[in-house]
Structure 1
């Protein structure tokens, strides 16, 4: 008889894993890039990015900020778009992490959830017993914008506060406008929510090389500090379950979804680079926000000045980001209401723009298609007109 060899499943154990969280527009991508810059050249790292919208852009923003390509740097990136990986079942998270680990065998994993996520949900998942031998959870690094904190609408919002409550280390940026009394008030506010958190003040661009170096060293230290937040959650989970602790194994198959289908967290960016006809646009309502995005062929070159003016005139936007081929070359676009940033980017496979817009209360409560009843939206956007205006910028 012919013997049949059976390939043993891969068992992952004690891979250091760091969550980098923060409210929408806090500056997580910057911190991710700073962490990647500290990677030893001989180590393999992996980065899992979760985006709420259907068009993966954050991976391009990270890639464009690196001097060399990721293959040379031994960094693997996986994007999960179309919803929050922590909002439904554990399957999307398990599939995404399993693929990264099995395909790239990294020595460290970084996870960046969407800024609209509630960090406690993800911490609950990663604190489950079946993750305990697979991942060695390090300090949860949370990014907080000082300019956001100054605004009462953020400061008093539970979703904003949640990121501080569930942090092991808090990186505070964009605080140049804060007076000493403001900083003291900020520290008191943080301490009231989380008295055990480590506070790290991010230096500005004018800081000396010594200050920058000291900051990066302290930030890098968090990669090797065990997470007290997740450790506590694991103890809670263990007392509430009788399931045996098992090593994480790669799934047999994963379901991929069309970007225009239901925005489940199971959607994966592997397929959206190959089977979408361009130019492409989507938009959809989720709770009290409106998501929209475009993908354009790489050879479409847009007028840089007109594009930025057009984006800024969109009503009620909370976040705009993109990597676009323009008359000024390839540009990263990263807009929040208190920070407008454009940077030179490397050449991409296509241009991508994505935005999050705030709906008014009446529109948010209505369970209807905004395409059919646009008057319910505070934005009142005619998407066909937007398409025409965008195409008119192609030179």
Structure 2
């Protein structure tokens, strides 16, 4: 029997960007444009094991299906640095179970986008998916730091973009904006640029400046992807190049070296196989990952929790949905952006952190953490 997803020609948008660039915010902005009578699906790839991004993308009580949006999370690794099987299984089940009118894929910020583009350009997806413009998010605050703009993984996202959405740019001077444009042109002269909405300042590379940001962004959902079409032509002309050469990013600011993925297959159900409270931690090259899941009835002091998180050493990303003294809060921290938002009741509290294990300098001292002490410190925040 043929797979039910064949010949559906479902519009699919790939949203990429380096760790902490603002992909979740952009996807929420795309969701805001969804027609009320359409069912969408999101495939989210998380580097850690807890699975937080689905909750960050919706404030519904059911974090997997809300406002006619189905969410499937692939956690515990990078779908583009492992075999293609996790991606195929996750996509096939998401499409066959929910029959969406549109699909959005968000790979982890530690992913190499070229690998995922190669996978999605394979012949067996060309009848099922209609690939639209690859949207890449660029944080201007990150770009201002040399460690980002000279980083191969950071640059990789720019090279494989159809459209680049630039946020957090207000503080850039005119000269810095010109330098940013020149840097982008060297990497990808064909990319279209949208400056994310900030007050009333919205400009674009090839769109009328009077066009609103939301309209400019929504238009990308209906534009074919030049990047993926080019890869598809390569696959036809040189079939041997269509075989994905799987590799993690190297020389990294935060390096991806995971080679296994764990798929969360229980779309609308909480994972009851894990006894709460639960914590994991692991080290992959120069990054440290840790996450906690706590019973919903555990209430943490909101102010003390934030203070505790911000004192963690060398943190690169903190995200979570936690029951606190201020109610249920979404936490979404990057070094240049601290965001919290009140949300509705969740099935449990989830918190995940990414730390850089060392600065990469010759005489740097590696971060050594006492995770049991951290468990005790979190429990001390209970009220």
Decide whether aligned partners of structure 1 residues 336 and 361 sit closer, same or farther in structure 2, where only a CA change above 3 A counts: closer
Contact 2:288–2:357 (Cα < 8 Å) also in 1: yes
1:265 to 241, 261, 264: 261
2:93 to 71, 89, 99: 99
Residues 287-329 of structure 1: CA distance to partner in whole angstroms, max 9, x if unpaired?
Answer: 2111000000000000001101111111011000111000011
Contact 1:57–1:322 (Cα < 8 Å) also in 2: yes
Structure with max Cα Rg: 1
Deviation at residue 228 of structure 1 after TM alignment: 0.4
Query: Structure 2 length as normaliser, TM-score?
Result: 0.88
1:204 to 198, 209, 218: 198
Query: Structure 1 length as normaliser, TM-score?
Result: 0.85
Residues 353-392 of structure 1: CA distance to partner in whole angstroms, max 9, x if unpaired?
Answer: 001110127899xxxxxxxxxxx97221101100000001
Contact 1:172–1:199 (Cα < 8 Å) also in 2: yes
Alignment of 1:245-324 (within 5 A): 264-268=260-264, 270=266, 273-324=271-322
Contact 1:61–1:332 (Cα < 8 Å) also in 2: yes
Decide whether aligned partners of structure 1 residues 77 and 179 sit closer, same or farther in structure 2, where only a CA change above 3 A counts: same
2:245 alignment partner in structure 1: none
Contact 1:322–1:353 (Cα < 8 Å) also in 2: yes
Q: Does 1:390 align with 2:378?
A: yes
1:379 alignment partner in structure 2: 367
Q: Distance in 1 between matches of 2:191 and 2:260?
A: 33
Deviation at residue 266 of structure 1 after TM alignment: 3.8
Which 5+ residue runs of structure 1 have no aligned equivalent?
1-6, 243-261, 365-375
Q: Distance in 2 between matches of 1:274 and 1:110?
A: 27
Q: Does 1:36 align with 2:31?
A: yes
Deviation at residue 239 of structure 1 after TM alignment: 2.5
Contact 1:123–1:230 (Cα < 8 Å) also in 2: yes
Give the length in aligned residue pairs. 358
Q: Distance in 1 between matches of 2:360 and 2:109?
A: 24
Q: Does 1:89 align with 2:87?
A: no
Give the alignment's Cα RMSD to 1 decimal. 2.6
Which 5+ residue runs of structure 2 have no aligned equivalent?
203-208, 241-257
Stretches of 4+ moved more than 3 A in 1?
66-72, 205-208, 361-364
2:71 alignment partner in structure 1: 77
Q: Distance in 2 between matches of 1:130 and 1:377?
A: 48
Deviation at residue 265 of structure 1 after TM alignment: 1.6
Decide whether aligned partners of structure 1 residues 391 and 38 sit closer, same or farther in structure 2, where only a CA change above 3 A counts: same
Q: Does 1:20 align with 2:15?
A: yes
